[in-house]
Chains A and B, each alone.
Chain A
Amino acid sequence: MKFKELCVLALDTDTVRRIARLARIRVPDDELPTLADELSRIMDWIEQLNAVDTSNIEPMTSVADIRLPQREDKVSDGNAPEKVLANAPDRQGNFFAVPKVVE
Chain B
Amino acid sequence: MTYSIQGKTGDWEVVIGLEVHAQVTSDAKLFSGAATEFGAEPNTQVSLVDAAMPGMLPVINAKCVEQAVRTGLGLNAKINLTSVFERKNYFYPDLPFGYQISQFLHPVVGEGIVALDMPDGTVREVGVERLHLEQDAGKSLHDQNPHKTYIDLNRAGVALMEIVSKPDLRSPEEAGAYLRKMRTILRYLGTCDGNMEQGSMRCDVNVSVRKAGEGLRTRCEIKNVNSVRFVMQAIEIEAERQIDLYEGGGKVVQETRLYDPDKGETRSMRSKEEAHDYRYFPDPDLLPLVLDQAYVDALKAKLPELPDVKKARFMSAYGLSLADAAQLSGEREIAEYFETVAQGRDPKLAANWTINELGAVLNKRGLSITESPVSADHLGNLIGLIMDNTISSKIAKDVFEVMLETGEDPAKIVESKGLKQITDTGAIEAAVDQAIADNPTQAEQYRSGDQKVTGWFVGQIMKATGGKANPKMVNELLRKKLGS
Contact = CB atoms under 8 A, between A and B. Distances in A.
Q: Find out whether A and B make contact in their complex, taking CB atoms under 8 A apart as touching.
A: yes
Interface of A: 18, 22, 24, 61-62, 64, 66-79, 81, 83-85, 90, 92-101, 103
B27 A99 contact: no
Interface stretch (B55-63, B241-249, B297-305, B376-384): B55-63
Contacts of A99: 147-149
Nearest to B36: A75
Interface in B91-117: 91, 93
Contacts of A69: 59-60
A76 B50 CA distance: 13
Contacts of B146: 100
Contacts of A96: 43, 93, 150-151, 153
A100 B147 CA distance: 5
A7 B423 CA distance: 98
B145 A76 contact: no
A101 B34 contact: no
Given A77-B49, A85-B43, A95 B151 contact: yes
Contacts, number: 131
Nearest to B147: A100
Given A67-B290, A78-B35, A95 B144 contact: yes
Nearest to B151: A96
Contacts of A98: 93, 148-149, 151
A46 B141 CA distance: 44
B260 to A, nearest CB: 12
B140 interface: yes
A81 B288 CA distance: 32
A72 to B, nearest CB: 6
Interface of B: 26-28, 32-35, 41-51, 59-65, 84, 91, 93, 140-142, 144-153, 269, 275, 277, 279, 282, 284, 286-290
B43 A81 contact: yes
A94 B151 CA distance: 9
Contacts of A66: 287
Contact of B142 (A68, A77, A100): A100
B310 to A, nearest CB: 27
A76 B284 CA distance: 24
Contact of A95 (B59, B65, B152, B275): B152
Contacts of A83: 48
Contacts of B60: 68-71
A103 B269 contact: yes
Nearest to A85: B43
